[in-house]
């Protein structure tokens, strides 16, 4: 977990995978590399706690399941998440990565499947953008849903860019 009270973008993931659990660095794996590409940010920007708060639904590696990692432990987030969110008053965008984060933050507004929820992203924006997990295991999902690359990622990148500081020498204006 990484969080700074001034962060404007919150990334809510599932739980650390084995590699991240070992390194202690969130998104320090192939999933993180893909996520940073989706956001169009470099490592230094992504790991700048004053820009991005990174919070999992579970703090510990939940172990392997039949088709990947097990889900986050259900008792974890209710113990601390609301208290932490109260300490992040400047959040303007929350990226909901995977069904567990989407269920927690969208509640009854969530659609019947992750695919339908992600496709309905405009209903939740600008506060939330639901995303599939960027795991290499989701390559098939990404290939089956080309609208994600065509529609969601450009909007995601634009929204993230709006919330990041304008680099020196840039002509971009904040919206």
Determine the pLDDT at residue 63: 66
Candidate from 14-18, 35-39, 84-88, 158-162 with smallest mean pLDDT: 14-18
Q: What is the CATH number of domain 9-62+70-163?
A: 3.40.470.10
Determine the pLDDT at residue 34: 98
Residue 163 near residue 8 (C-beta atoms within 8 A): yes
Between β-strands 128-131 and 93-97, what pairing exists: parallel, antiparallel or unpaired? parallel
pLDDT digits (tens, 9 = 90+) for 77-119: 777 888 999 999 999 999 999 999 999 999 999 999 999 999 9
In this prediction the pTM is 0.87
Q: Which residue has the higher pLDDT, 85 or 58?
A: 85
SS (H, E, C) 44-108: HHHCCCCCEEEEECCCCCCCEECCEECCCCCCHHHHHHHHHHHCCCCCCEEEEECHHHHHHHHHH
Q: What is the DSSP letter of 9?
A: E
* pLDDT of 173 strictly over 60: no
**Domain assignments of the chain as residue spans, ordered by start:** 9-62+70-163
Q: What is the DSSP letter of 122?
A: G
Q: Which residues contact 138 (CB under 8 A, 6 or more apart)?
A: 132
């Amino acid at each position: 977990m990484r969080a700074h009270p001034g962060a404007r973008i919150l990334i809510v993931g599932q739980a650390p995978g084995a590699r991240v659990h070992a390194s202690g660095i969130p998104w320090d794996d192939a999933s993180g590399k893909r996520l940073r590409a989706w956001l169009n940010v470099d490592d230094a920007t992504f790991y700048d706690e004053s820009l991005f708060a990174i919070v999992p639904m579970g703090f510990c590696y939940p172990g392997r399941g039949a088709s990947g990692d097990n889900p986050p432990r259900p008792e974890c987030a209710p113990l601390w998440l609301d208290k932490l969110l109260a300490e992040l008053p400047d959040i303007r965008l929350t990226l909901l990565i995977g069904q567990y984060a989407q269920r927690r933050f969208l509640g009854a507004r969530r659609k019947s499947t992750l695919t339908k929820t992600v496709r309905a992203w405009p209903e939740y924006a600008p506060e939330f953008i639901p995303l599939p997990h960027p795991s290499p295991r989701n390559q098939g999902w990404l290939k089956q849903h080309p609208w994600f690359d065509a529609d969601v990622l450009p909007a995601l990148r634009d929204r993230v860019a709006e919330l990041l500081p304008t680099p020196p020498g840039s002509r971009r204006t904040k919206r």
